[in-house]
Amino acid sequence: MSAKQRAQAIAPILREQFPGTAVELCELDFASPFQLLCATVLSAQCTDVRVNATTPALFAAYPDAPAMAGADRSHLESLIFATGFYRAKANHLLELSARLLSTYGGEVPKRREDLVTLAGVGRKTANVVRSVAFSLPGLPVDTHVLRLSKRLDLVRSDDPVKVEHRLNALFGEQEGGALSLRLILHGRRTCTARVMACENCVLLDWCPTGKKRQALAT
């Protein structure tokens, strides 16, 4: 059983569990690419629920790049305080908005090379924005995607960039965003970092780690 074969078996099962496109599967609330970009920057080491509790007041005050670029730093910090890393994140939002104005006409760029030049935006965030806001290829590799890909033995590497390329090759570039979100959702509900709930996992038949574990238990 090759990784490619496992990937082809896994894809439709995950699609059935978590139907929809990347936009529909994304749990962050946003009304524009700019707002998704900001919400994703805020989501670093923070739950989506908390980000969604934070962003309504934030976007009411600073809905777009021009408004955010002119935000009062202390006010901005107080608005995003609960998301953690609030000083660094406030700096990121300020700098990123200023750069959008100075270099990209106030719009969020679509190319990954441009996105990653923005403060607080790394490869993972760039891929979220591309796939969710623009329906472009982009496969965000976060801790969940990395963990599940390894447990499913789709990849061996720990390098997120290599993992991204590998998953794109296995599942197809256009599936990237939705695939990532589905792995994340499955990783949060069933295959968590500490507890693998293999007994009610829909992927068990295709999971080398789960089957090995099952064999040991019997």
Q: Would you tell me which residues interact with DNA (CB under 7 A)?
A: 25-28, 40-41, 43-48, 50, 81-82, 84-88, 116, 118-126, 128, 140, 142-144, 180-181, 184, 187-188, 192-194
Q: Are 4 and 172 in contact (CB under 8 A)?
A: no
Q: Using CB atoms within 10 Å of the CB of residue 201, give its burial: 0 to 12 exposed, 13 to 18 middle, 19+ buried.
A: middle
Catalytic, 142? Answer yes
CB of 140 to DNA, least distance (A): 5
Closest CA to 37 of 160, 149, 156, 119: 119
* CA–CA–CA angle 126, 59, 66 (5° rounding): 75
CB of 1 to DNA, least distance (A): 27
CA–CA dist 98, 114 (Å, integer): 14
Closest CA to 154 of 116, 183, 123: 183
CB of 218 to DNA, least distance (A): 27
User: Active-site residue among 29, 124, 158, 159?
Assistant: 124
For residue 44, give every residue at least 6 positions away whose Cβ sits within 8 Å of its Cβ, in sequence order, or none.
85, 89, 120
CB of 54 to DNA, least distance (A): 10
Half-sphere exposure of 198 (CA within 13 A, CB side): 19
Dihedral through CA 44, CA 47, CA 50, CA 51, nearest 10? 40
CB of 77 to DNA, least distance (A): 8
Closer to DNA at the Cβ: 2 or 194? 194
Half-sphere exposure of 182 (CA within 13 A, CB side): 22
Catalytic, 110? Answer no
* Structure-token pair, residue 195: 């507890």
Closer to DNA at the Cβ: 21 or 81? 81
User: Active-site residue among 142, 158, 159, 211?
Assistant: 142
Give the catalytic positions in this structure: 124, 142
